[in-house]
């Protein structure tokens, strides 16, 4: 495995039932594909202990915690203090995922906005990057991120980016990062690949969002961290780069944004 370029799956969900009892095998398969680190995401704060346990049990795994926007109305509202307390854990490296989803849950838009601002405050105070989910809410997302950033800087990644060129530019103008998921590898996603190609390569991450959105040749099947390599190869083509160079670049980008993960020693 020493000659396989190392990459990072910056966003997956290893605590989901799809992976029950398979974590050891998933981590092993990821390593064989060159995916030497991954961030598993807690989407409901009540599940944080189980997500944390996965990170504690596996050296390559880090975690982030927050309330997913689609759960903002059905879960207790997060607090800045609670998020900061969780952030004390040495392997807790990001705040979220949080954000806005008007595709499925537009009726809870006001609650989602309140939750988003709480997560932003925690990211700002902790120094950990914010992890954003955005769907069908581009204008509100761009406005809130800009307004909040003007009140105090924070790092951020637009996870599984598949929104408009305008939201991409708004995020990049704030110094944020865009993450490529399996969607970017779908044959019909040329417009999305064009958005990435027009972005600075030093602001690009790769991810799976496993168990969702498996890239070809596994499309339609369960996704897993090892498949980050398939998306990263499409990313390399998109930027006209050698795969080894793209892997190194996106890993360096991850280390810059997720500095706590980069500094962690087993």
SS (H, E, C) 124-183: HHHCCCEEEEEECCHHHHHHHHHHHHHCCCCCEEECCCCCCHHHHHHHHHCCCEEEECHH
Facing residues of 99 across strands? 133
Residue 211 placed within a domain? yes
**Mean pLDDT over residues 77-101, rounded?**
98
Q: Express each pLDDT in 232-264 by its tens digit.
A: 999 999 999 999 999 999 999 999 999 999 999
**Mean pLDDT over residues 98-112, rounded?**
98
Residue 2 placed within a domain? no
Residue 197 placed within a domain? yes
Q: Express each pLDDT in 108-122 by its tens digit.
A: 999 999 999 999 999
Q: How much is the pLDDT for 2?
A: 56
Residue 99 to residue 16: CA distance in whole angstroms: 20
Question: Domain limits at 179?
Answer: 7-263
For residue 43, the SS3 value is coil
Residue 42 placed within a domain? yes
How many domains does the chain fold into? 1
Q: How many CB atoms lie within 10 A of CB 145?
A: 25
DSSP 208-260: --BTS-PPTTSTTS---GGGHHHHHHHHHHHTT--HHHHHHHHHHHHHHHSHH
Residue 51 placed within a domain? yes
Q: What is the chain's mean pLDDT, rounded?
A: 97
Residue 187 to residue 205: CA distance in whole angstroms: 20
CB 95 within 8 A of CB 105: no
Residue 104 placed within a domain? yes
Q: How much is the pLDDT for 3?
A: 84
User: How would residue 45 be classed by pLDDT, with cut points 50, 70 and 90?
Assistant: very high
Q: How much is the pLDDT for 169?
A: 98
pTM for this predicted structure = 0.97
> Residue 229 pLDDT more than 80?
yes
Q: How many CB atoms lie within 10 A of CB 73?
A: 16
Residue 117 placed within a domain? yes
At 133, which CATH number? 3.20.20.140
Residue 77 placed within a domain? yes
């Amino acid at each position: 495995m020493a000659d396989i370029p190392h990459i990072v799956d910056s966003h997956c969900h290893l605590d989901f039932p799809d992976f029950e009892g398979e974590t050891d095998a998933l981590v092993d398969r990821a390593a064989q594909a060159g995916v030497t680190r991954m961030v598993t995401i807690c989407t409901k704060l009540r599940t944080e202990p189980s997500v944390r346990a996965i990170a504690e049990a596996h050296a390559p795994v880090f975690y982030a915690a927050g309330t997913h926007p689609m759960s903002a109305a059905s879960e207790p509202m997060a607090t800045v203090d609670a998020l900061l307390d969780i952030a004390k854990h040495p392997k807790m490296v990001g705040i979220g995922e949080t954000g806005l989803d008007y595709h499925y849950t537009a009726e809870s838009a006001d609650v989602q906005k309140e939750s988003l601002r709480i997560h932003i405050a925690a990211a700002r105070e902790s120094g950990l990057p914010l992890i954003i989910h955005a769907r069908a809410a581009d204008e509100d997302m761009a406005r809130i991120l800009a307004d909040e950033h003007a009140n105090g800087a924070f790092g951020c990644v637009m996870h599984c980016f598949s929104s408009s060129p305008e939201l991409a530019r708004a995020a990049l103008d704030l110094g944020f990062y865009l993450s490529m998921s399996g969607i970017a590898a779908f044959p019909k996603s040329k417009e999305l690949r064009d958005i990435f190609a027009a972005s600075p390569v030093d602001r690009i991450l790769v991810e799976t969002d496993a168990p969702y959105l498996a890239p070809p040749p596994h499309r339609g099947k369960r996704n897993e961290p090892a498949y980050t390599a398939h998306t990263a190869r499409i990313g390399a083509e998109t930027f006209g780069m050698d795969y080894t160079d793209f892997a190194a670049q996106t890993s360096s980008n991850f280390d810059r944004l997720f500095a706590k993960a980069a500094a962690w020693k087993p």
